[in-house]
Amino acid sequence: MYNATRTMAEAIASGLEKQGVRYKIFNAAVTDPNDVITEVFKAKGVLIGSCTVNNTVLRPTAGLLEVIKSLRFRGKLGAGFGSYGWSGESPKVISDSLEKAGLKVPLEPVKVKYRPSGEELAECTAFGESFAKTIKE
Ligand SMILES: Cc1cc2nc3c(=O)[nH]c(=O)nc-3n(C[C@H](O)[C@H](O)[C@H](O)COP(=O)(O)O)c2cc1C
């Protein structure tokens, strides 16, 4: 809604880049779900972000999580993140859903209240670096 989760995604991506891990960022609200899933299929890992709306994830994110579950990926890494205003369920909804879908979810999801501060963006970058390290293991 206010680009908070997008800003987090970009900071996480900078962490991946620091560790030399290649990535692609998609906005699930405007990208054909088949294109996103094709990339998820090819990737070693997927980080999914959504702000919290009405105590859960945005609809395009929910759709993506459903498809990921039905494809029964094995050996892929996953993580959740997102911005929130008060209750903040979304990152854990994503993380739990990826785990149930059979992905390895090594990191606690990262969440930020409203727009991330400089310090919170640094935490997102560190999160991306940690994820990248598990990808490289
Ligand atoms: C219609 C609407 C519903 C929302 N519902 C929730 C909610 O249930 N729980 C919560 O923690 N935040 C809720 N929020 C706050 C957003 O998660 C918060 O503004 C967030 O920073 C938006 O991130 P974004 O810029 O990435 O979309 C809601 C915001 C709107 C506009």
Domain residue ranges in the chain: 4-136
Q: Which parts of the chain are beta strand (E)?
A: 45-49, 77-84, 110-113
Q: What percent of the chain has pLDDT over 90?
A: 98
- What pLDDT, on a 0 to 100 scale, did the predictor assign at position 87? 98
Q: Is the CB of 55 under 6 A from ligand 1?
A: yes
Give the chain's radius of gyration (CA, Å): 14
Q: Is the CB of 85 under 6 A from ligand 1?
A: yes
- What pLDDT, on a 0 to 100 scale, did the predictor assign at position 34? 93
Q: How far is CA 35 from the centre of its chain?
A: 16
Q: Which parts of 23-102 are beta strand (E)?
A: 45-49, 77-84
Q: What is the CATH number of domain 4-136?
A: 3.40.50.360
Distance 89 CA to ligand 1 centre (A): 10
The SS3 assignment for 73 reads coil
Mean pLDDT of 1-24: 98
Q: Check: pTM over 0.75? Answer yes or no.
A: yes
- What pLDDT, on a 0 to 100 scale, did the predictor assign at position 41? 96
- Number of neighbouring beta carbons within 10 Å of residue 97: 22
- Could you tell me where the DSSP H helices lie in the chain? 4-18, 33-42, 59-71, 90-100, 118-136
